Amino acid sequence: MKVVFLQEVEGSGRTGEVKNVADGFARNYLLPRKLAAPATDHNIRIAQGRADVEAKHQAKLDADASVLVERLAGHIVTLTAKAGPQGRLYGSVTARDIAEALEGPLGHVLEHRQVELEEAIRQVGVFQVPLRLSRNVKATVQVEVQGEGMPPAPAVEAEGEEPAAVAAEEPEASVEEPEAVAEEAEPLMEEPEPVAEEALAEEAEESGEEG
């Protein structure tokens, strides 16, 4: 059956569009719900008038959405959720959570269906999440999920290096000092030798006189 769509039917047709559809689909679904009508000249004029009104309305929605895109530029949505030591969330971050978090910076309430999140976020990290702000305007927002209750980061390694540096410097000075003392002591040990030779000479002279 040839019909003209009076309203948009997702996957089938838009307002004002004339198409051939299955008879059963037309009689059982489209015509009873006044989503479409037989494609007569009168019905086509009505449908096209509606299409013009919808086009103007859609143009305004797209313009408003473009303003939201500008507000989102460089914006990061930060959400906090309870997480385990490995960064695994105990719950999840959903499209509804992101839509609510965007209400403030956008100054506009988004429906959770406009957040095109394939599946809920269950891990801490940074994610690029697509948004459909209107039928013809899309955007991407950066979402950072931080873990609440995760253990603190390990101590910085540089803090543990200072004692080792001090310990390495102190022994050097203590080792050098005994060497200097040893060098000074060497001349003192050479002096007794001439004293011993003089004493032997005197003893020899005395023994010669006595003989």
Judge residue 83's burial from the number of C-beta atoms within 10 Å of its C-beta, 0-12 exposed, 13-18 middle, 19 or more buried: buried
Cβ contacts of residue 30 below 8 Å, gap of 6+? Answer: 3, 5, 9, 12, 21, 36
CATH class of 74-148: alpha beta
8 A C-beta contact, residue 164 and residue 127: no
| Confidence band, pLDDT 50/70/90 cuts, at residue 206 | low
CA 62 to chain centre: 30
The H or E element that residue 33 is part of is: none
Q: What is the pLDDT of residues 84-106, one digit of tens each?
A: 988 999 999 999 999 999 998 88
Residue with tokens 């479409």: 36
Cβ contacts of residue 76 below 8 Å, gap of 6+? Answer: 142, 143, 144
Cβ neighbours, 10 Å, residue 2: 12
Residue 182 has pLDDT above 50, yes or no: no
Q: What is the pLDDT of residues 54-86, one digit of tens each?
A: 999 999 999 999 999 999 888 899 999 999 988
Q: 2-64 architecture in CATH?
A: 3-Layer(aba) Sandwich (3.40)
Residue 199 has pLDDT above 70, yes or no: no
| Confidence band, pLDDT 50/70/90 cuts, at residue 142 | very high
